[in-house]
Amino acid sequence: MKILHTSDWHLGRTLHKVDLHAHQAAFLDWLVDLVRGERVDVVVIPGDVYDRAVPAVSSVTLLDSALARLADTGATVVLTSGNHDSPERLGFGRSLMRPGIHLLTDVPGIEHPVSVADEHGEVLFFGLPYLEPDRARTELVGEGEAPLARSHEAVTRAALDRVHERAAAHPGARTVVLAHTFVTGGDASDSERDLSVGGVDSVPAGVLGGLDYLALGHLHGCQDLTRLVGAPAWYSGSPLAFSFSEKNHRKSVLLVELGAPGTAAEIRRIRTPVPRPLTELRGSLEEILARADEHGGDWVKAVVTDPARPAHLQEQLREAYPHLLLTEYAPEGREARAGTPVVRREQNPLDVMDDFLAHVTGAAPTSAEHEVLDRAYTAVRRQQEAS
């Protein structure tokens, strides 16, 4: 059986105010073609389909089109909700979905796996939506029972107990679990929302073992956690980068082939189309501008290190790098300062202005700069005296 694992689409997200809608649509076009070309049997999407609980209409339309086209390939689609999604909104209308589309977005859904058969028998697909501890700790216990501990580990362990109990009723069946969570030992980036509860935001890897494949969502870098979990376990990662902390990620989807019971799953990474690389350039303004031929088409973060802030910094960078997203000024080589200069009441206002300019630029004002400040101060004083 061929399984395509992708997650963390974050439809509706921007990258430093750049609208990613067209790029996300291009990824989904590519994904549908890949599913059709590889004759994929099941597509699994473990959460964060949307970037917000109340998505924009354009994002809803994009997902609707993608699911319809994936269903038209003949593949079964199994989808869970993540911490960015609203499980109620994402799961709305699931009973009306066309055959082959399964939205497992709530705790009761854990009891109802999607069964897909191949020549080796039955494969059960269990969906674990993002389990918010404050909510799931009561939903995962029986009536009259005490709530679970307020932790990601406790609610995930209880959900997996249900999975294993349900799977035991299907002797010989292989089990695939979709889970949106942060597994201890995974590599995070700056663009995932913090899941911490009481200072703990992760689930120990050992809780998630005993499966034929664990399809993970939440972390945006594609990574193999098989060694930690003790069973085939991967994060597919996000198909696009959402922060410069992801600049070195190799964005991918995973093609998983399940064989006969007892055989190891085969996993192949397939790189996703990326609109343009993310590049961080650090150095003096002159050094950064000299690399425009190499990186002029990239999304760029420029960290400028000149001791004195260059004039027209942003304009010069923007001209060389039309896709500049971030600029940081981090001066190197200037004398370290204890902190912000202290202004004394009796101090000459022009001296305060000179000190401020020196603090910002790292260099004492030139005579021309001082003259500009003097003229500006004099004009303000005259205006005040005349009013």
Query: Helix H segments across the chain?
Result: 21-37, 57-72, 87-91, 133-139, 152-168, 226-229, 285-289, 292-295, 313-320, 349-361, 367-386
Please give the share of the chain, as a percent, with pLDDT higher than 90. 72
Mean pLDDT on 89-117? 83
Q: What is the pLDDT of residue 97?
A: 65
Q: What is the pLDDT of residue 87?
A: 76
The rounded distance, in Å, linking the Cα atoms of 280 and 353 is: 34
Q: What is the token pair recorded at 149?
A: 């501990």
The rounded distance, in Å, linking the Cα atoms of 311 and 315 is: 9
Residue type, 283: G
Q: Using pLDDT thresholds of 50, 70 and 90, give the confidence band for residue 377.
A: confident
pLDDT of 137 above 70: yes
pLDDT of 324 above 80: yes
pLDDT digits (tens, 9 = 90+) for 213-243: 999 999 999 999 999 999 999 999 999 999 9
Q: Strands 213-217, 233-235: parallel, antiparallel or unpaired by DSSP?
A: parallel
pLDDT digits (tens, 9 = 90+) for 9-32: 999 999 999 999 999 999 999 999
128 neighbors 152 (Cβ within 8 angstroms): no
The more confidently predicted of residues 189 and 267 is: 267
Pick from 203, 206, 190, 248: which is nearest to 223 by CA? Answer: 248
Per-position DSSP letters for 37-74, written without gaps between them:
HTT-SEEEEES--BSSSS--HHHHHHHHHHHHHHHHTT
Q: What is the pLDDT of residue 288?
A: 97
Q: Using pLDDT thresholds of 50, 70 and 90, give the confidence band for residue 382.
A: confident
pLDDT of 320 above 90: yes
DSSP state of 245: G
How far lies 180's CA from each of 94, 217, 237, in Å?
A: 19, 4, 11
Q: What is the pLDDT of residue 286?
A: 96
pLDDT digits (tens, 9 = 90+) for 261-316: 999 999 999 999 999 999 999 999 999 999 999 999 999 999 999 998 899 999 99
- How many other C-beta atoms can be found within 10 angstroms of the C-beta atom of residue 376? 12
| Element spanning 115, H or E | strand 114-118
Beta-bridged to residue 102, according to DSSP, are 78
- How many other C-beta atoms can be found within 10 angstroms of the C-beta atom of residue 212? 22
Q: Any idea how long the chain is? A: 387
Can you tell me whether residue 375 is helix, strand or coil? helix
pLDDT of 144 above 90: no
**pTM for this prediction:** 0.84
